[in-house]
Amino acid sequence: MGLVRAVEGIRMPDYHGDPATGKHVVSVEWRVDGILPDGRVFSVCVKVGFSFDGCSVPRLLWRLCGHPMEVPRVAAALAHDWLYAAHVCDRETADMIFREICRMVGLSALRYNTEYWALRVAGGAAWKSHGAADQEFARAHGALMLDGKIQEGEQ
């Protein structure tokens, strides 16, 4: 969706959505690779058909934080939404991957660290909201590799 195809060498996700529901569906398989600050190498792949809602920013804060589907942050939001739904890693790793992708696409350190800490403080309910059906669907629509090993389930 949109005209932006890549930012800082990271391909932006292609998706279509329903503004009324706020859900967007991946229309072209998408992948991002990076290295976490602790040295772990990651690769997140999200397949066609996965549904996501972008960054969970209350509408009241959109002027301050940005729209939930803002480019280039949408890349980090897609990876993070998939990681939270799939539960293929622990929550802290999912949040660190979000922060690293935000850094990779050029968000300022102030912004990506603020959003990371907001996730650490307030993301627990979203993490817990994904049951077995969500996890099964997400795992069928993506994959996470850490240090060259496919992650099968929550660690």
Question: At a CB cut-off of 8 Å and minimum separation 6, what does 63 contact?
Answer: none
Is 35 among the domain residues?
A: yes
Q: Tens digit of pLDDT for each residue in 83-133?
A: 999 999 999 999 999 999 999 999 889 888 988 988 898 888 989 999 999
Band (pLDDT 50/70/90 cuts) for residue 140 is very high
16, 38, 11: which is closest to 26 by C-alpha?
Answer: 16
Is 155 among the domain residues?
A: no
71 φ, ψ (degrees, to nearest 5):
-85, 135
Is 1 among the domain residues?
A: no
The answer, yes or no, to whether residue 146 has pLDDT greater than 60, is yes
Q: How many domains does the chain have?
A: 1
Q: Tens digit of pLDDT for each residue in 51-79?
A: 988 767 655 655 666 656 666 888 999 99
DSSP-derived 3-state class of residue 124: helix
The answer, yes or no, to whether residue 5 has pLDDT greater than 50, is yes
Its domain, for residue 76, covers 6-150
